[in-house]
Structure 1
């Protein structure tokens, strides 16, 4: 199936150029990990711009949560692909990652040359505190729209308890919710929402739904020939740079090892970055000896407080690993090469999963059994996002959070003496501004960053 030309794409109600500006904005404001990023996209694409309905947004999110890799990045690619085909998916995916990539690359260079830069970190800590308002608003808004029955509320609550208190692996939660939905479809069909009609509404208030109803998004129909082309093309895009590095520097070089190792982690990061960070830290610190434990913690702090997916910590790890250990290049050139290669192999699979699988997921949207399963997964996702929100809140407001274990039960225990009250005040003010006075998110984030910078400049600590 042929792709549309840029001119044909721009005849849509939202041109590719206009969409590019929106995706650039989302990329630059994508603080707060997956919870904050999903919240931001829901606010921008569902509530403000009405590009996609809640039902389709959650349907796409369910699929992305099932995939390895950063789910928020994949969700951006999915929605943009629906509207502007491959060109849109590429634009959204690249712009979602680019601001964080540039920021972490610059901070990695500064870190390698000079160590930590407190003023820069203070700005990002202020932004991180403000993102709490976006996250809280999203959990409330998405929960209201997704949890429309007691069954859905029960699934969300059980998912939260399972992942937060018992650390049940995310894939098991999704599998359990999906099985619950499939079985519930038979023994309690009235407790699960009915599937959407296979005929899209040509008069819908939401752009993508309306275009589907008008028959203008023909690329969303699955095609076996297209699937083969997509698979071959993106496997080549993913692996050719790794093979080129192996040919240039050898299989045992640091750059080659980074390309192979982070390609491997890209397909095992189910449940988001948190699920795989311990493994990455162990291999990078203990296995490969690329960095020290302290440097790993510094990299995690950078990734948590800069825009983009948390998995971007691998870019910092790869930069330092190549900077200190890659032979045949200057330290700075090696670090940049490692950073670029690792980012490439981390995110190239995201495009493969979406471009290959999304047409089939869309085609099965009206299937009753699948819809029941995905409805249950939707409810579980609300619980998982709530878990991320609680985790994000604790680690933003408190400087130290320990974990206590009582058999299978695990509780996070913040040290009240490490309360970072400037961060707490900024977060509370941001919530009041956005939730009560409806101040724009951009203004709130800008003000928060400036306040944190001024506080740090005056000698305060965050």
Structure 2
């Protein structure tokens, strides 16, 4: 190990590799918990990065599409050990959880009809209602500052939930609104802090083009090989294209894009609302980024449409394609995009656009929360279609009281007692198991 001029300790690649491997098994708690864990380990405990350097890296990742915690791992790994360090950090941050999720997806697909397994997932799903509601309240408290931001959030909710506009259109409309209004009307102040560090990270065109070419090749060549092997209309080709699209538009965190993903996996791949909720429950209880829920969806879609392959083999291929399409772009965004984002970080128009997008995210999460709650808390849910959206219309006599109790308890546990999300979800699964045995 070496010390830099600021007193930070520069680890060897081997030391950093072992740290990232360990982190991949214990990074529970969603992006907030994962970022806090990295701060504790990298800044406070190991002193591999200074406070300013860590926050500087975090500011980059919050402006990029994709899972911010995983991208922060890529960025800090790159700071510590160069490109190989960034690749190792990003892969190890996801790999253990991805393997676990594949196994759980197989268990769900193969044994989901067993009464005990079904009862566990019902309990998990009820807990997810409270988890999503808590996330909406938490994000809303930070993002909706003033009447203008509240109007943007409300319009985003109506656009998604009632009218059925696609998520990308809602994001673009919010960004355009923010550009027009500016950051102040959305309750955001613009700081010049950190501009003295921008020069050292200024983008260089001679570096940009090779990084872009290599990143696009790494991202798309494996997916195009899958298309050539399985055909343009195969389930794997559709998954590769769709989840690559998700990787490009996933601003605002996993909960924001999951409303769009939940709708599309039902429409495109034939999954049920129960499948959507079960995947979200598993993603909340396992380590790794919350967006790994898409691996669950990719596995199920291929498992149920295996063609000539065994269902488990088809599911595994679907999971690999989905994970690759989702996470390969993250490395490109960090290695290529960070210098350019840094140049624009204090741009007032950009800050206004991002503030409006963040406010819209609250409305999108509200849409997800209502959809999840309707399908979990009621045993009979019909739909109405006033425009393009399928609005859930629950039959009130079918209210599932135990699910309401579990969901409410989950919300209170998170908001009032700050219980870790993973423990809340596991508790919901345990309650479901007990109720399944009693019944």
Q: Which TM-score band applies after superposition, normalised by the shorter structure?
A: 0.7 to 0.9
> Which residue of the partner structure matches residue 233 of structure 1?
214
Distance in 1 between the 2:200 and 2:298 partners?
Answer: 34
> Which residue of the partner structure matches residue 180 of structure 1?
177
- Give the one of 131, 134, 138 matched to 2:135: 138
Query: For 1:174-253, what aligned pairs fall within 5 Å after superposition?
Result: 174-185=171-182, 192-199=187-194, 221-242=202-223, 251=228, 253=230
1:241-275 CA distances to partner (integer Å, 9 max, x unpaired)? 456667xxxx4647994543322223333463554
1:84 aligns with 2:77: yes
> Which residue of the partner structure matches residue 429 of structure 2?
449
Secondary structure at the counterpart of residue 365 of structure 1? coil
Secondary structure at the counterpart of residue 268 of structure 1? helix
- Give the one of 398, 410, 416 matched to 2:396: 416
1:427 aligns with 2:407: yes
Give the C-alpha shift of residue 369 in structure 1: 1.4
8 Å contact kept, 1:142–1:382: yes
8 Å contact kept, 1:178–1:377: yes
1:316 aligns with 2:300: yes
> Which residue of the partner structure matches residue 437 of structure 1?
417
> Which residue of the partner structure matches residue 68 of structure 1?
none
Give the C-alpha shift of residue 378 in structure 1: 1.7
Distance in 2 between the 1:160 and 1:274 partners?
Answer: 11
Give the C-alpha shift of residue 366 in structure 1: 0.3
Compute the RMSD of aligned alpha carbons: 4.2
> Which residue of the partner structure matches residue 32 of structure 1?
none
- Give the one of 348, 360, 374 matched to 1:380: 360
8 Å contact kept, 1:319–1:339: no
8 Å contact kept, 1:104–1:316: no
Secondary structure at the counterpart of residue 165 of structure 2? coil
Over 3 Å counting, the alpha-carbon distance change for 1:388 and 1:355 in structure 2 is farther
Give the C-alpha shift of residue 228 in structure 1: 2.8
1:342-385 CA distances to partner (integer Å, 9 max, x unpaired)? 43344323433443323322321101111122122221122222
> Which residue of the partner structure matches residue 395 of structure 1?
375
1:266 aligns with 2:204: no
Distance in 1 between the 2:315 and 2:391 partners?
Answer: 39
Question: Which segments of 5 or more consecutive residues in structure 1 lack a partner in the other structure?
Answer: 30-39, 65-70, 201-212, 285-292
8 Å contact kept, 1:76–1:93: no
- Give the one of 235, 260, 279 matched to 1:303: 279
Distance in 1 between the 2:130 and 2:94 partners?
Answer: 21
Distance in 1 between the 2:231 and 2:114 partners?
Answer: 27
Distance in 2 between the 1:267 and 1:44 partners?
Answer: 24
> Which residue of the partner structure matches residue 343 of structure 1?
323
Provide the aligned length of Structure 1 versus Structure 2.
Answer: 400
> Which residue of the partner structure matches residue 289 of structure 1?
none
8 Å contact kept, 1:245–1:256: no
Distance in 2 between the 1:412 and 1:234 partners?
Answer: 41
Query: For 1:143-162, what aligned pairs fall within 5 Å after superposition?
Result: 143-162=140-159
Distance in 2 between the 1:138 and 1:56 partners?
Answer: 24
Give the C-alpha shift of residue 334 in structure 1: 5.5
8 Å contact kept, 1:79–1:89: no
1:162-217 CA distances to partner (integer Å, 9 max, x unpaired)? 222222222222222222222223xx9555523221526xxxxxxxxxxxx8x6x9
Over 3 Å counting, the alpha-carbon distance change for 1:375 and 1:300 in structure 2 is closer
With normalisation by structure 1, the TM-score equals 0.70
> Which residue of the partner structure matches residue 167 of structure 2?
170
8 Å contact kept, 1:105–1:315: no
Give the C-alpha shift of residue 99 in structure 1: 2.6
Distance in 2 between the 1:197 and 1:264 partners?
Answer: 39
- Give the one of 97, 110, 113 matched to 1:99: 97
Distance in 1 between the 2:381 and 2:63 partners?
Answer: 30
Distance in 2 between the 1:17 and 1:275 partners?
Answer: 36
> Which residue of the partner structure matches residue 325 of structure 1?
308
8 Å contact kept, 1:126–1:448: yes
Over 3 Å counting, the alpha-carbon distance change for 1:220 and 1:125 in structure 2 is farther
